[in-house]
């Protein structure tokens, strides 16, 4: 069953077209991540789904019903914002209860659902505090709690972790993944961070300039990118690109290889000087200057005695190499 269907959705602000021909199906229980660089229209797409912006054209269905003319509160959705957007004058309890009160739910139902959400998110001790008295992580949990109590058909998250520090971000990411497992709910999650996309998603939607570039599972996109943009966007450190004639293939095209698929190989086709080494303990990353303004990142597993200013020769597994046409599309012929 589909939880959300978008067909040919366009959105313009005045003359600026922000979303172009977006079509997408999301199955019930799926965790879908919209990912793309800043300004590519992810938040706008989410707001169109929520009903906070009207689509200029195209159709939006939630659980089978066309909702183009339905106000946000009646769409069966809940949204978590990057800036938390908690009501400053209400306590944590009232922040979570407000939507249910607006729906005129019975008092005991409201109390039960708030208690349940508070238990899941460890917010029991803070129910009587105001948002100003909470830390960033706690505020974001309250915002998530406010979404949970509504038992929506569709959860929408707009970069919920980008205001948190790195350690907290990881914890909250795991919490959201667990939440998805426990609730079995359909979730749509927007981020510009490819790590979040790779770790959370059942299905990733890569957006660029208001267009869908590719849809697929994380490993699908990683192993089989449809074009140079997707190949370069997913994976960290990102894929190396070189003119194909550097590796002895016909010119014009671009050669792509991920840092972990380069190896130190005295018989390899690429050689250059190490300019920078990052030792992370588990991995060692090195930047190798190949001359002619080209450089590649090399990722070696474990701790490696490579040093800056050393000359190295690099090889790669041809099965792991990608080639792209001048227009950026993937070229299948090796």
- Contacts with other proteins by CB under 8 A lie at 47, 50, 52, 71-74, 77-79, 81-89, 98-99, 102-103, 130-132, 139, 146
Q: Which of 24, 8, 4 is nearest to 64 (CA)?
A: 4
Count of other CB atoms within 10 angstroms of residue 41:
21
In angstroms, give the least distance from the CB of 40 to ligand ADP: 4
Q: Which does 40 bind (CB under 5 to 8 A by kind): other proteins, Mg ion, ligand ADP, none?
A: ligand ADP
Q: Angle at Cα 205 formed by Cα 229 and Cα 142, nearest 5°?
A: 125
Q: Which does 39 bind (CB under 5 to 8 A by kind): Mg ion, ligand ADP, other proteins, none?
A: ligand ADP
> Exposure of 85 by Cβ count < 10 A (0-12 exposed, 13-18 middle, 19+ buried)?
middle
Quick one: how far is CA 31 from the chain centroid?
11
In angstroms, give the least distance from the CB of 228 to Mg ion: 24
- Nearer to other proteins by Cβ, of 138 and 240: the residue is 138
Please select the residue that binds Mg ion; options are 9, 26, 35, 43, rule is CB under 5 A.
43
Alpha-carbon span 262 to 268, nearest angstrom: 10
In angstroms, give the least distance from the CB of 114 to other proteins: 14
What is the residue-wise DSSP string for 21-46?
EEEEEEETT-EEEEE-STTSSHHHHH
In angstroms, give the least distance from the CB of 191 to Mg ion: 9
- Nearer to ligand ADP by Cβ, of 38 and 102: the residue is 38
In angstroms, give the least distance from the CB of 201 to other proteins: 23
Q: Which does 19 bind (CB under 5 to 8 A by kind): Mg ion, other proteins, ligand ADP, none?
A: none
In angstroms, give the least distance from the CB of 177 to other proteins: 23
Alpha-carbon span 36 to 229, nearest angstrom: 10
In angstroms, give the least distance from the CB of 22 to Mg ion: 15
CB neighbour list of residue 8: distance below 8 Å, 6 or more residues apart: 21, 22, 23, 57, 58, 59
- Nearer to Mg ion by Cβ, of 43 and 95: the residue is 43
Alpha-carbon span 116 to 118, nearest angstrom: 5
Q: Please identify, among the stretches 43-51, 89-97, 260-268, 286-294, the one whose residues bind Mg ion according to the rule CB under 5 A.
A: 43-51
CB neighbour list of residue 250: distance below 8 Å, 6 or more residues apart: 244
In angstroms, give the least distance from the CB of 180 to ligand ADP: 22
- Nearer to Mg ion by Cβ, of 43 and 138: the residue is 43
Token digits for 83? 């800036």
| Rounded-to-10 torsion of CA 240, 241, 245, 251 | 160
Query: What long-range pairs does 20-23 form, CB within 8 A, spacing at least 24?
Result: 20/209, 20/210, 20/211, 21/58, 21/211, 22/58, 22/210, 22/211, 22/212, 23/212
DSSP, collapsed to helix, strand or coil, labels residue 248 as: coil
- Nearer to other proteins by Cβ, of 100 and 287: the residue is 100
Q: Does 285 bind Mg ion (CB under 5 A)?
A: no
Which residues make up the interface to ligand ADP (CB under 6 A)? 13, 16, 18, 36, 38-44
- Nearer to other proteins by Cβ, of 130 and 304: the residue is 130
Q: Please identify, among the stretches 42-50, 221-229, 235-243, 264-272, the one whose residues bind Mg ion according to the rule CB under 5 A.
A: 42-50
- The contact set with Mg ion (CB under 5 A) reads 43
């Amino acid at each position: 069953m589909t939880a959300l269907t978008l067909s040919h959705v366009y959105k313009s602000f005045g003359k600026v077209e922000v979303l172009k021909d977006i079509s997408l199906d999301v199955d019930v229980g799926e965790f879908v991540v919209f990912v793309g660089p800043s300004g590519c229209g992810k938040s706008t797409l989410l707001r169109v789904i929520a009903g906070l912006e009207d689509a200029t054209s195209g159709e939006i269905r939630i659980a089978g019903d066309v909702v183009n003319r339905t106000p946000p509160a009646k769409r069966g959705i809940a949204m978590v914002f990057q800036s938390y957007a908690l009501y400053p004058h209400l306590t944590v309890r009232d922040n979570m209860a407000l939507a249910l009160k607006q729906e005129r739910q019975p008092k005991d139902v409201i109390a039960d659902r708030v208690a349940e959400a508070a238990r899941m998110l460890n917010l029991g001790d803070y129910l009587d505090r105001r948002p100003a008295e909470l830390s960033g992580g706690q505020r974001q949990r309250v915002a998530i709690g406010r979404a949970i109590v509504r038992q929506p058909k569709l959860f929408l998250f707009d970069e919920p972790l980008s205001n948190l520090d790195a350690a907290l971000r990881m914890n909250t990411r795991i919490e959201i993944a667990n939440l998805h497992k426990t609730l079995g709910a359909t979730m749509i999650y927007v981020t510009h961070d490819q790590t979040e996309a790779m770790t959370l998603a059942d299905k990733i939607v890569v957006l660029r300039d208001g267009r869908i570039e590719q849809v697929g599972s994380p490993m699908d996109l990683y192993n089989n990118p449809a074009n140079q943009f997707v190949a370069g966007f997913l994976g960290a450190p990102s894929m190396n690109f070189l003119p194909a004639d550097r590796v002895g293939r016909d010119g014009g095209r671009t050669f792509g290889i991920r840092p972990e698929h380069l190896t130190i190989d005295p018989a390899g086709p690429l050689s250059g000087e190490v300019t920078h080494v990052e030792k992370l303990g588990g991995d060692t990353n090195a930047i190798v200057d190949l001359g002619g303004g080209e450089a590649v990142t090399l990722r070696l597993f474990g701790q490696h005695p490579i040093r800056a200013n050393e000359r190295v020769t690099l090889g790669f597994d041809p099965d792991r190499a990608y080639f792209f046409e001048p227009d950026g599309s993937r070229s299948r012929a090796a």
